[in-house]
Structure 1
Amino acid sequence: MRPTQWTWKYEDADGRALAGDNAVFPTQSDAETWIGEAWRGLRERGVENAHLWADGARVYGPLSLRPAD
């Protein structure tokens, strides 16, 4: 069965959970496209890393939101 709800969870530089925007995406591709567009704004709010979740199970992370050197 395919996941139906893809979400991001965020953490600060110390690994503490941060409140997110609670956006829900219908596909992994939609979620990944969104983070690719929104990461700068998330960084401005103190988000250091993001974790992708599908139907309550972690898919991957941490994904650093720091720009590449």
Structure 2
Amino acid sequence: LGVELTSGIDVYVDDEAIELELDELIVEPLLFLSIGQFWLVAVVLIQMMEQYLMLVCSRQGATGTAAWK
């Protein structure tokens, strides 16, 4: 599993790429937040993504760890 947080989020599950375009929805509003608020929201988003990936992997019967670039 590979997650990239540069332009949108690319989630790779079993060699299938699921692209989540979050630029317009989340990234642009974050530019108006302070650094502390930005990191708080970023940590929450990362935890949500981890929970989602764990749920997907558990449903597919696969076990894996997320690799952060």
TM-score band, normalised by the shorter chain? Answer: 0.3 to 0.5
Q: Which has the higher strand share?
A: 1
- The TM-score normalised by the length of structure 2 is 0.36
Q: Which has the higher helix share?
A: 2
Larger Rg: 2
